[in-house]
Structure formats: structure tokens, C-alpha cells
Amino acid sequence: MRNALRLSAAVLFSLVAYSAAAQEPDPAPAPPQAAPATAEEDVLTWDELPEAIRRRAAPMLGRPTPQAVLNVENAIQPDADFRDIDHGDVMFEQWVRPAAVARITRSVRNGEKYGPVGAALWPGIGPDGDYWCWRRFNPENAFARGNIYCYLDKNGDGVSEQLMENNFWQGGIPASRFQFLTFGHDEGVEESAAFEVEPDALGEFRELVVLRYYGATRGVLKADGSLGPALVEFEVLTGLDHGSLNEASRIRIRTDANGRGQYHGLNGIRLMVDGVNVDGSVRARLVGALPTGRGLLFPATTRELVVERMSEFFNPDGTPKAPAASGE
């Protein structure tokens, strides 16, 4: 039998360092199970996680995950009150571009692969600092399939200290030209590239960010036909337009016995829920979206995010979950 603690620690490294990684859509929510109205859902908390997991996650808390830095074009008016939201309903739509442009003035060897002189770069950010990124792009292909190369520029002097290669399959968002979920691996290039920032310039790629309601994926059925406690989920989608959106991340909100819960992301997205119906629809309120100007799609890692990911491997009391049956 595999050691669940060792597995969860390994998975934690991936989930925390790259917590915005895209997920395959979950299967359709199962019908809620009837339970007494007084039933409460026991959930995992930060304090119940094993000390080794908390110690490993602590250095990542509050630090940005790997991603492109965005310029958000349009503001969203928050909801004045709660509204009825059903599966697939859109909470907001915003248009984004790369937040800045720099051009390579001195390339590394094999510049056709890593970026030639004059190539336009866009800004990225991660736990180790600021980056400038480039991608080989085929204009005949609506979906950019080339690798992304990001130059680390820790001190902001316009000279790179490291070159990272992100193979598309490793951490890409298929419908995006410039957004990503990981820097990939150190390419081992010893030379440094140099680049100059174009004042007040924004990247040419314009893409859509959408927040859409997915549904209730867990819940206790109460006598009045509502769910509580419950788990409701929202999808963060991005792509070139409405016809080419991919899920970039999920927002999960745990409600109390009365169906109330909230989410406050460090990227500006804020949601409140005030009631979950047996059919999975909710009463929800959009309190905030991505602020206009320079911003990030994925919020920094928090305790809540770590607990959410680790709940797949630990019981509410902090003990490892039994491995799934493998037919042995």
C-alpha cells in the first residue's frame, strides 16, 4: 500500500507551486444524499493538516504562482444584491492584454528557438521574481502550439539570469496565445539575453476572461429542499473569444448549514453565496472582479487553497485517506 502522506507531500509541491494549473472538468455532480436537517459537514482545516505539510506549504503562502501579467481593459459593476444563478450562467466577462512589451536587443545562441533580436516579449511573474516571455507563434494556427520561453530578470536591469522552457503540454492554456500555468524547466542556457521595455506599450494579444457558474458538487439535503452545508464551484475561463474558452482554474466555495459562504481572492475576484437549491442553482452576488489595469488572473497561494487541494488526500481529522482500490 502506498504511503498516503508521502504521496500528498509530493502532490502538494505541484499544487502549491502551480496552484493555478488547469483541471479537467469534473464529472456531473451526483444527486445530493438526503440527511437530517441538523447534519453538519466536517471539513479539513489548516490546523488539522500534518505539520510536515504545513511546513512545506508555508513558504509559498502569499507568493504569486507562475502566470502572465495582465492589463485588464474593462471594469465590472458589482451586483447590488444577490441574484439567482443557474448552471452555466456567466458572472462576468473581461478583456485582457499582456501588461507590457519589451524587445530583445541581444539574443542567446539559437535565437530562432529562444527569441531573435527584435522579438516582442510580455511580462510574467512567479515565486522567484519577474520574467519576460516569448513564444514561437504560427499566425496560420488559431491556437498557439509553440513552447513558451521566459527570461528571469530578478533585479529588473534588462539582462536575464535564467531561461525557462514551458513545453505547451506541460502548463499551457490551449486557447490562449500568451497565458500559462508554469514556467516549466530550466533550459540550461548559460548566456544572458538583453531586452528593452517599450514605455506605456501593451501586448497585441487581446483575450477574454470569463467567470461562469459550474454547479453544486456536494451538499447535505435539508428538509426545506435546500442544501447546506454544500460545496459550489465557479469556472475561471480564458481564451481568444467566446468560441475558444478553456478552463484555467476553479473557485470553490464551502457554504454553512444555511447555504451561506464567500470567496475573497487576492486577485480581486470576490463572491458571496446565500442559499443553494436542491437542483444545484444558487443565490449569488458578485462583489468584485479583476480590477482594471495591471493585474493577475490567478491569486497568490493561501492557506485555504492548500487545504482545498489537500482535502483530496486527507480526512477532516487530518489522517491520510485510504488509497483507492486498485483491484488487488
Q: What is the 3-state secondary structure (H, E, C) of 153-172?
A: CCCCCCECCEEEEECHHHHE
Q: What is the pLDDT of residues 55-101, one digit of tens each?
A: 999 988 888 899 999 999 999 999 999 999 999 999 999 999 999 99
What lies within 8 Å, CB to CB, of 54 at 6+ separation is: 46
- pTM (2 d.p.): 0.80
254: Cβ–Cβ under 8 A, 6 or more apart, which residues? Answer: 41, 43, 229, 230, 231, 261
Q: Structural domain of residue 233, as residue ranges?
A: 4-95+206-310
Specify the range with the lowest mean pLDDT, choosing from 140-149, 165-174, 292-301, 307-316.
140-149
The CB density around residue 166, as the number of other CB atoms within 10 Å, is 23
Domain end among 172, 197, 222: 197
83 and 218, same domain (yes or no): yes
State how far the Cα of 98 lies from the Cα of 62, in Å rounded to an integer.
22
Which of 109, 251, 120 is CA-nearest to residue 177?
Answer: 120
Encoded amino acid at 321, one letter: K
Confidence of residue 142 (pLDDT cuts 50, 70, 90): low
The string of DSSP codes covering 121-143 is: EEEEEETTEEEEEEE---TT-SS
- Domain count of the fold of the chain: 2
| Ranges 14-28, 117-131, 139-153: which has the least confidence | 14-28
User: Among the residues of 115-244, which ranges form H helices?
Assistant: 168-171
pLDDT for 33 equals 44
Instruction: Indicate the burial class of 104 (C-beta count within 10 angstroms; 0-12, 13-18, 19 or more).
Output: buried
Task: Please tell me whether residues 22 and 68 are part of one structural domain.
Answer: yes
pLDDT above 90 (res 138) = no
* 324 confidence band (pLDDT: 50, 70, 90): low
pLDDT at residue number 63: 86
Tell whether 123 is covered by a domain: yes
Query: Are both 147 and 277 inside the same structural domain?
Result: no
What does the pLDDT look like over 198-238, one tens digit per residue? 999 999 999 999 999 999 999 999 999 999 999 999 999 99
Higher pLDDT, 228 or 143: 228
Q: What percent of the chain has pLDDT over 90?
A: 69
On whether residue 315 sits in a domain, the answer given is: no
Rounded CA separation 326/171 (Å): 29
pLDDT at 270: 97
In this structure, is residue 51 part of a structural domain? yes
Residue 67 lies in a domain: yes
Same-domain pairing of 226 and 303: yes
For the chain, give the number of residues.
328
Three cell numbers written together for 62: 502569499
**Is pLDDT above 80 for 169?**
no
User: Which of 167, 159, 165 has the alpha carbon at shortest distance from 191?
Assistant: 159
Interstrand relation of 67-68 and 260-264 (parallel, antiparallel or unpaired): unpaired
Residues 21, 181: contact at Cβ < 8 Å?
yes
Does 81 share its domain with 132? no
Write out pLDDT tens, residues 5-26: 333 333 343 443 333 333 333 4
All residues at 6 or more sequence positions from 280 whose CB lies less than 8 Å from its CB, including other chains: 29, 86, 87, 215, 216, 232
pLDDT: is 104 or 33 the higher one? Answer: 104
234 and 176 both lie in a single domain: no
The verdict on residue 320 lying in a domain is: no
Say which residue, 106 or 316, is predicted with more confidence: 106
227 vs 170: which has the higher pLDDT: 227
Alpha-carbon dihedral sign for residues 111, 114, 119, 125: negative
Both 88 and 116 in a single domain? no
Among 197, 217, 245, the domain boundary falls at 197
Please provide the average confidence, as pLDDT, over all residues in the chain.
85
Q: Are strands 33-34 and 102-106 parallel, antiparallel or unpaired?
A: unpaired
What is the β-pairing status of strands 148-152 and 90-98? unpaired
